[in-house]
Structure 1
């Protein structure tokens, strides 16, 4: 591996890592907020909203992730073109974040629903006795306790999300896998390039696993 390879293609790979982590972080934040909301709706929402949330989850689980990415990317382009009256090419980064957040929220909603249900009902009753509104009781009493219970499953889902970013290479965004594909074609060294790529993915997921493991330890302070 020459110095030119490292300084040229190596930097391109590192930029792919930055893009991958950026997409992951944005999708994780948006998907988590949406997932918590869906989980709460599945428990506390009115019947039409509960059914809609269940249908949404079933659709995402039943359709391949790649098709959802294509639908959001090309569907977003069509929708914006019709709204503006001129052709609009949707941004690959925005489409990637939206697609992965859309998918992540569906799976996260069931993790949060299960965690919320494990919080004793008496916690809600105690919050009401203290004069807290239903919303305040959920945000300040129920959700912090549910978060601790949801953390193991949530961490696994977040690690999967890092690897799922490789799917958005199909819409032209130069994340890590897309950068690797370009470099592989230019250097004609696919084994070397993809081996380095695999190591980079392993480093990212290992750091994520380490972080979530310590987060679980921290959140379980004072519990047997």
Structure 2
């Protein structure tokens, strides 16, 4: 414990990076997920195919491969375009931004399936009734679709969020100083790697435990009316 206390600032810094990475990735994944869900439910055949290609591609390629492809391949592509066009010089892609983009893109595909299933679970008659009362599509989404979609999506959304938190550990392979990277560096320097990995395990358990508790309370809030009915 004394050793962990001495390196507490390094570990806390890593926790901050990990939590920020997870939250920003979640926001991006929700945006991508909503776009993907509406694309797969679109009356346009082209949009449905585009949404299907997005979810199939992400679920078929390992997360680590996508992480390295976006970070290293994206950096090469950006610099090649700049060199050929002369519009900019060498650009060093930030690891944090690469991590957010990758995790948001990956989990956006899983969120798309979550939101699509939740929207399909809403009785069609409710949406038709809202439209017959004179509501425009925006009002129907805000007052009818969104509240029920959240209730149906929360169980799967919770699972996606917990998996996303664990997946943030992948960013350590591209050099981002997150919790895993900092703990691994401290463990190697002190030759107490096992001690620091146990600390990482406990910290991740705490983060996921708090997240699960908060999302369960949110689930009870959105399900209150359904349970009374």
Same fold (TM over 0.5): yes
Instruction: Identify which of 80, 88, 96 aligns with 2:91.
Output: 88
Structure 2, unmatched stretches of 5+, are 84-88
Task: Say whether the 8 Å CA contact 2:151–2:223 is kept in structure 1.
Answer: yes
TM-score (norm 2): 0.92
RMSD between aligned residues: 1.4
Instruction: Identify which of 183, 186, 193 aligns with 2:189.
Output: 186
Instruction: Identify which of 71, 74, 77 aligns with 1:76.
Output: 74
The residue aligned with 2:20 is 22
Task: Say whether the 8 Å CA contact 2:147–2:222 is kept in structure 1.
Answer: no
CA shift, 1:132, in A, is 2.5
Structure 1, unmatched stretches of 5+, are none
CA shift, 1:45, in A, is 4.3
TM-score (norm 1): 0.94
The residue aligned with 2:59 is 61
CA shift, 1:74, in A, is 1.4
CA distance in structure 1 between the partners assigned to 2:44 and 2:186 by the alignment: 52
The residue aligned with 1:6 is 5
Instruction: Identify which of 142, 146, 160 aligns with 1:143.
Output: 146
CA shift, 1:77, in A, is 0.8
The residue aligned with 1:99 is 102
Query: For 1:147-186, what aligned pairs fall within 5 Å after superposition?
Result: 147-186=150-189
| 1:5 to 1:151, Cα distance in 2 relative to 1, 3 A | closer
Query: For 1:191-206, what aligned pairs fall within 5 Å after superposition?
Result: 191-206=194-209
Number of equivalent positions: 222
CA distance in structure 1 between the partners assigned to 2:34 and 2:8 by the alignment: 38
Question: What per-residue deviation string (whole Å, max 9, x for no partner) do you get for residues 22-58 of structure 1?
Answer: 0000000110121012112211241111111111111
Instruction: Identify which of 27, 30, 33 aligns with 1:32.
Output: 30
